[in-house]
Amino acid sequence: MTAKIIDGKKIAEGIKEKLKFQIEGLTIKPCLAVILVGNNPASNVYVNMKEIECTKLGIILKKYCLKENLLEEKLLNLIKALNNDVHVHGILVQLPLPSHIDEFNIIEAIEPKKDVDGFHAINMGCLFIGTPKFEPCTPKAIIEMINSTNITIEGKHAVIVGRSKIVGNPVAQLLLQHNTTVTICHSKTHDLKEYTKQADILVVAVGIPHLIKEDMIKEGAIVIDVGVNRIEDITYKKGYYLCGDVDFEKVINKASYISPVPGGVGPVTIAMLMSNTLKAYHLIENGKAI
């Protein structure tokens, strides 16, 4: 069997086309504030991509690039100002933050109505009790990609490798709410292969290049690769290339559907950020509570 490719770029284009049409009809344009602290090369790339996509859709992106040694208090002050700014609808603080800044304090300072990442405890809580307000963008993208296969997932076994706050944990909740049976594996799981081999749907988000090999996959599984690993290689124009957590070239022969890296989860995640920004816009402009 050769798997069909879940084309993230194409899925994202479809979502963005609809959003663009909705945004064109607005007199006041949605505004997303993005805060970048320090000089993490991957974060720089992600923020630039968000900026490009926002511009295409008619979303104003206000970018705040701050120095690595910024005091936590200064960042909290900026967030307070953005919370109170009626022209700003969404606030995103790019992660990871430098180690001297407490990530939890920063996320909790964001007004939940403007929390387009869905990372605030209120939004996470709403997600976990089954009434999501802002679903985190990557988990939301993963569900969209699985749905694009048109395979019924109710009753199927979803195995997630990775238990991060921003991907593994929330996607497990979303999959549960879609009536799949969910197993979460992580770095301390013994005999990972025993679990991954049982997966009708396998979501991998650990950041280990090519961790998942062909013999770890059930024949016909849907495989979603969330890993974006930079491999330094001077023979490439940029000095590196990107690969996922799944050994794509081999696993493609066993899965029924597989998402590539790049061109898989990444573009859909950005489309979901645009969608959450429009949602924040409506909450703010219409004065609705979360």
C-beta of 89 vs 254, nearer to ligand GUN = 89
CB of 179 to ligand GUN, least distance (A): 25
Under rule CB under 6 A, which residues in 138-177 are in contact with ligand GUN? 138, 166
C-beta of 94 vs 259, nearer to ligand GUN = 94
Give the x/- contact pattern for ligand GUN in 2-41, rule: CB under 6 A. ----------------------------------------
Distances in Å between the Cα of 78 and the Cα atoms of 68, 194, 209 are 15, 48, 36
CB of 151 to ligand GUN, least distance (A): 26
Single out the residue of 15, 38, 35, 39 nearest to residue 81, CA to CA.
Answer: 35
Q: Which two tokens stand for residue 178?
A: 């879609």
Q: How far apart are CA 79 and CA 19, in angstroms?
A: 26
| 94 catalytically annotated | yes
C-beta of 162 vs 217, nearer to ligand GUN = 162
Give the x/- contact pattern for ligand GUN in 100-129, rule: CB under 6 A. -----------------x------------
- Tell me the number of residues near ligand GUN by CB under 6 A: 8
Under rule CB under 6 A, which residues in 187-216 are in contact with ligand GUN? none
| 4 catalytically annotated | no
Under rule CB under 6 A, which residues in 267-286 are in contact with ligand GUN? none
- Catalytic residue among 16, 115, 117, 133, which? 117
- 95 lines the binding site for ligand GUN (CB under 6 A): yes
Query: Which listed range, 53-61, 90-98, 177-185, 247-255, lies at the site for ligand GUN (CB under 6 A)?
Result: 90-98
Residue with tokens 């990372």: 119
Q: Which two tokens stand for residue 159?
A: 């195995």
- 243 lines the binding site for ligand GUN (CB under 6 A): no
Task: Report whether the peptide linkage leading into residue 98 is cis, meaning its omega lies within 30 degrees of zero.
Answer: no
Q: Which of 93, 171, 212, 246 binds ligand GUN (CB under 6 A)?
A: 93
| 193 catalytically annotated | no
C-beta of 95 vs 290, nearer to ligand GUN = 95
CB of 166 to ligand GUN, least distance (A): 6
Q: Are strands 229-232 and 240-243 parallel, antiparallel or unpaired?
A: antiparallel
| Residues near ligand GUN, by CB under 6 A | 92-95, 117, 137-138, 166
The residues annotated with a catalytic role in the active site are 50, 94, 117
